[in-house]
Structure 1
Amino acid sequence: MKPLPLLCLVTPALADANNGNWQTARRWARMLSGHYRVRLVQSWSGHSPEDLADDGLLALHARRSADSVAAWAAQCPGKPLALALTGTDLYRDIQTDGSAQRSLQLAQRLIVLQDQGPLALPAGLRDRCRVVLQSSTRRQTLDKSELHLRAVMVGHLREEKSPQTLFDAARLLRADEGILLDHIGRALDPVLDQAARATMADCPHYRWLGGLAHGATRQRIQRAHVLVHPSRMEGGAHVIMEAALSGTPVLASRVAGNLGMLGGDYAGYFEAGDAAGLVRLLRACRKDMAKPRGLLARLQSQCEARAALFEPAAEKAALLQALSGLSWPPASSLL
């Protein structure tokens, strides 16, 4: 029996980053094992014997993996080359960055992580594109307090995640309204670091918890009444699917990446950067906490309906299908 094809999975972020790209890479490596021999690296140059033994390349991030994509295309012409696109790829870099644009042209297969993703690509490249919705494990919905509404935001302090929207919302809310805001994420921007600390000092109902381990973060999502996701650009947020799979509804900015995860008719959107709009939704959820047909219950029902799309079996099948159409060397079985 011939060995399975050797797939090099390039991810700019490894375990120490503890971000969405790393979570995707680790999960895909696990899903693809048994169908491919998977090697996880930060870059591919073709300079090592290990590089030259690879049968195919799957790279995450058009700009940050651009050197790896270009090296593979130059040294391994015709061999499978797939590229998974992030939110900054789709909604910023492919518009302005030459290296990201070149990655798009070189890749034989483009993978996006939510249903709106193909629309951000040049029309001539959309036939190369496949949607692979990400997945996570289901978690039991934990008991939630009836005394207050707890909202949690999960996102490192960087501009793309728009933590300023949460800071502004905290200042619009009164401390006695029974709405508590928890914020999980590392400080990647010193200005936003200072803003988080200032908000916490001025607003007793806002807590910045810093970076937490993934397991601890998921527990806080399980215990929250709502997840707040105010990103300005998003490729397909892990925390949205984790919330949906935990029975926790989402309040999200109306940007393409969130629309592609939650659907166009979802009732929990506010405009990107609109702190007042977020506050209106939070107050409505607080008011409706005990109502079986209130906004909070409606959002929970809508998220539960989407949750089946984020099951691991669905992601694995879509990922294998996306890769199977490429010119792999013969092996025992790819599917």
Structure 2
Amino acid sequence: MRILVAGPVPAASDYGNGVTARRWASLLRDLGHEVRVVQDYDGDTYDLLIALHARKSEAAIRAFRAACPDAPIVIALTGTDLYPDLVSGGVDLALLEAAARVVVLQPQGVLQVPEALRSRTRVITQSMPSISGEAPAADRFEIAFLAHARPVKDPLRLSEAVRLLPPSSRITVTHVGGVREDDIGDRLRAESAGNPRYSWLGALPRPEALAVLARSRLLVLTSRHEGGANVVTEALAAGVPIVSTRIPGSVGLLGEDYAGYFPVGDAAALAAVLDAAEHDRDGLYTQLRRQCAARRASADPERETEAWKRLLAEAVPEKAGYEGVR
């Protein structure tokens, strides 16, 4: 089957949508399909379109529908599509209603989809093979912050929080991520120069970014919204506990009972969680490690592959070529 994957960033991008598009293309090829990844519809004929990001891929979806009216479309909803809601995210609901299937990246995403479309909505959690790396440094409690500097990521919240830690704390932050606006870059450079606990490395090649994660004692996610962050999956694959804003995108992946949440935008609450984790106060760090280990199976690549296999059998049964899939 010929499959077109359309997304809002170049296929080589290390932004989340680029990482997701490349991974999906790889697993679909492993299933025996011919796959092309594009930003804009290329005018060719395909058996299926998988559109990543309903709003930003809208032009590609419309062009594909006009050129291949009989081919089904799968639309995958990202965090900025889903939150705070589809209408606020600029999603054309009529376009969504024309999709053969809708994909969300964590279970709570289904709740954002109109009730009439939920029977066509599938949850496909993202995956990552196990990540190994060097042991954590003994002389500090290193925290990984892997986030491009966009407002939705609240990128300066963690640097604010670590300034609130007691002088005796050994916490340091290594921030990996690019910038799109010069003023944010200037603020991050100033923070990195003036805050001894904070080091911003800018954008790094993906293997180097994952190496930073693998050697860290914690990953922190400060986002205001996420559809189902790749970095959470990567931390689970690396065996690195997570501290995250209590947002549906993280609760859907980690569970309501996860112990490592803090309120969006609350630097003082984040500082308190980090301080407790560093000292394993009330067993918090031990609990985070145990809970993340228990959730590791959700990031298994075989689970994601099987989920796509089932979806293709539903959306394009005559061409999927999978017998016995229900």
TM normalised by structure 2 equals: 0.93
Q: Does 1:316 align with 2:305?
A: yes
After TM superposition, the structure 1 stretch with the greater mean CA deviation from structure 2, 206-215 or 186-195, is 186-195
1:49-88 aligned within 5 A: 51=44, 53-88=45-80
More moved, 195-204 vs 22-31: 195-204
Deviations 1:70-97 (A, max 9, x none): 2222333342110111111111472235
CA contact (8 A) 2:3 2:49 kept: yes
Distance 2:163 2:246 in 1: 22
Query: 2:148 touches 2:178 (CA, 8 Å); kept in 1?
Result: yes
Is 1:19 equivalent to 2:15 in the alignment? yes
Separation in structure 1 between the aligned mates of residue 279 and residue 300 of structure 2, nearest angstrom: 32
Counterpart residue type for residue 308 of structure 1: A
Structure 2 residue aligned with 1:30: 26
Within 5 A, what are the aligned runs for 1:274-285? 274-285=266-277
Residue 125 (1) aligns with residue 117 (2): yes
Q: In structure 1, give the amino acid aligned to 2:57.
A: S
What is the number of equivalent residue pairs in this alignment? 323
Q: Secondary structure at the match of 1:323?
A: helix
Distance 1:306 1:331, change over 3 A: closer
Q: Which runs of 5+ in 1 are unaligned?
A: none
CA RMSD of aligned residues (A): 1.9
Secondary structure of the corresponding residue to residue 94 of structure 1: coil
- Separation in structure 1 between the aligned mates of residue 308 and residue 131 of structure 2, nearest angstrom: 23
Give the AA of the match of 1:200: S
**Residues of 2 paired with 1:219 and 1:142: CA distance?**
8
- Asked if 2 retains the 8 angstrom alpha-carbon contact of 1:70 and 1:106, the reply is no
Q: Equivalent residue of 1:245, what SS? A: helix
Alignment pair present for 1:226 and 2:201: no
Query: Whole-Å Cα distance in 2 between the matches of residues 173 and 199 of structure 1?
Result: 16
CA contact (8 A) 2:85 2:112 kept: no
CA contact (8 A) 1:229 1:250 kept: yes
Cα shift at 1:312: 0.5
SS of residue in 1 equivalent to 2:86: helix
Q: Report how far residue 248 of structure 1 moved.
A: 0.6
Give the aligned residue type for 1:44.
Answer: Y
With over 3 angstroms needed to count, the CA separation of the structure-2 counterparts of 1:307 and 1:331, relative to structure 1, is closer
Which aligned pairs between 1:100-115 and structure 2 lie closer than 5 A? 100-115=92-107
Could you say which residue in structure 2 is the equivalent of 1:10?
A: 6
**Structure 2 gap ranges (5+):** none
Cα deviations by residue, 1:122-173 (Å, 9 ceiling, x for unpaired): 1111111000010011023642234321111100001111112112113223
Structure 1 pair 154–25 and aligned structure 2 pair: CA distance change class (3 A): same
Amino acid at match of 1:303: C
Aligned to 2:286: 297
**TM-score (normalised: structure 1):** 0.90
Distance in 1 (CA, whole Å) between partners of 2:15 and 2:142 is 23
Q: Does the C-alpha gap of structure 1 residues 194 and 173 become closer, same or farther in structure 2, counting only changes over 3 Å?
A: farther
Q: CA deviation at 1:276?
A: 0.8
Deviations 1:27-46 (A, max 9, x none): 1111111332212221116x
Question: 1:137-176 maps to which residues of 2 (within 5 A)?
Answer: 137-140=129-132, 142-174=134-166, 176=168
- Higher mean Cα deviation, 11-20 or 179-188? 11-20
Measured in 1, the distance between the counterparts of 2:59 and 2:155 equals 31
Greater mean deviation of Cα atoms: 228-237 or 83-92: 83-92
- For the residue of structure 1 that corresponds to 2:172, the secondary structure is strand
- Structure 2: distance between partners of 1:134 and 1:216: 20
Mapped pair 1:245 → 2:237? yes
Aligned partner of residue 253 in structure 2, secondary structure? helix
